[in-house]
C-alpha cells in the first residue's frame, strides 16, 4: 500500500511542477510527440505553394490560362477579354466571378513557378477530379489561349504539350 501512495504522490508532484513551469512561461509542449507531428504537418502545409494544392479543375484550368496569357509579360487587354468570355461561356461564370478567378490565378502565380517542369505536381491533386471531357475542354481552351495572338511561343507550346501528355495519357 505504501508503494501505491508513493507513486501517486510522485505523479501529483510532477503534475504540480509541470503546472508551475507552464504558468511561469516555460513551454514543455515540445515534449509531446503527437503535438510535434501536428505542428510539423501544419507548418509544411502553411509554407507550401498553394499552386500545388489546387483540386478544382476550373481553378487549375484558369491558372494555366493566366500563365499562358502572361508568358510574354503582362496580360494584354485582348487576352483578358478573351479569358473573361471563356469563363462566362465555358464555366458559366458571371462577369464578377470571371474577374475574381483571373485575379486569384494572377495572385497564385505571383511566386515564379516553372509550370512545365512542375506540371505533374500541379495536376496531381486535381487529376482525379478531371473527367475525360473536362480534360479535353481544358486542352482546347489552352490551345485557343496560346494561339490568340498568333503563333504560340515555345513556353506556351511546352505548357500545352505537358498538360496534354499528363491529362490525356491514360
For residue 54, the enclosing domain spans 50-167
* pLDDT bracket for residue 12 (50, 70, 90): very high
Distance CA 156, CA 153 (A): 5
- Residues 90, 18 within the same domain: no
- Do 87 and 40 belong to one domain? no
Greater confidence (105 vs 168) lies with 105
| 14 shares a domain with 83 | no
**Per residue in 127-164, pLDDT tens?**
999 989 999 999 999 999 998 888 988 999 999 999 99
* 77 and 128 part of one domain: yes
Residues 71 and 135 in one domain: yes
The x, y and z cell numbers of residue 5, run together, are 501512495
Whether 137 and 54 map to the same domain: the answer is yes
What pLDDT score was predicted for residue 142? 92
> Given this model, what pLDDT does residue 75 score?
86
* Contact (CB, 8 A) for 142 and 160: yes
Residues 54 and 42 in one domain: no
* Same-domain pairing of 39 and 58: no
Mean pLDDT of 84-104: 92
- Which of 57, 60, 47, 152 lies closest to 105, judged by CA? 60
pTM above 0.85, yes or no: no
Cα-Cα-Cα-Cα dihedral sign, residues 139, 109, 153, 84: positive
pLDDT given for residue 99 in this prediction:
92
- In the chain, the number of structural domains is 2
The answer on 144 and 67 residing in a single domain is yes
Instruction: Say yes or no to pLDDT of 170 above 60.
Output: no
- Cβ distance 123 to 167 under 8 Å? yes
Residues 88 and 122 in one domain: yes
25: left (phi over 0), alpha (psi -120 to 50) or beta: left
Q: Do 75 and 158 sit in the same domain of this protein? A: yes
Whether 33 and 97 share a structural domain: no
Q: Provide the 8-state DSSP code for 75.
A: P
pLDDT tens digit string along 36-89? 899 899 988 888 888 998 999 999 999 999 999 988 888 888 889 999 999 999
∠ CA(132), CA(135), CA(141), 5° rounding? 145
Amino acid at each position: 500500500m505504501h508503494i501505491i501512495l508513493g507513486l501517486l504522490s510522485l505523479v501529483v508532484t510532477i503534475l504540480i511542477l509541470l503546472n508551475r513551469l507552464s504558468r511561469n512561461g516555460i513551454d514543455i509542449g515540445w515534449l509531446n510527440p503527437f503535438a510535434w507531428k501536428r505542428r510539423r504537418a501544419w507548418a509544411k502545409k502553411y509554407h507550401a505553394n498553394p499552386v500545388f494544392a489546387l483540386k478544382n479543375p476550373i481553378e487549375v484550368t484558369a491558372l494555366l490560362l493566366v500563365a499562358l496569357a502572361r508568358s510574354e509579360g503582362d496580360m494584354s487587354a485582348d487576352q483578358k477579354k478573351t479569358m473573361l468570355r471563356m469563363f462566362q461561356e465555358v464555366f458559366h461564370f458571371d462577369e464578377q466571378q470571371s474577374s475574381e478567378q483571373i485575379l486569384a490565378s494572377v495572385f497564385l502565380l505571383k511566386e515564379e513557378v516553372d509550370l512545365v517542369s512542375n506540371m505533374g505536381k500541379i495536376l496531381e491533386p486535381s487529376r482525379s477530379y478531371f473527367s475525360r471531357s473536362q480534360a479535353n475542354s481544358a486542352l482546347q481552351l489552352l490551345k485557343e489561349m496560346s494561339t490568340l495572338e498568333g503563333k504560340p511561343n515555345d513556353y506556351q507550346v511546352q505548357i500545352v504539350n505537358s498538360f496534354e501528355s499528363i491529362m490525356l495519357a491514360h
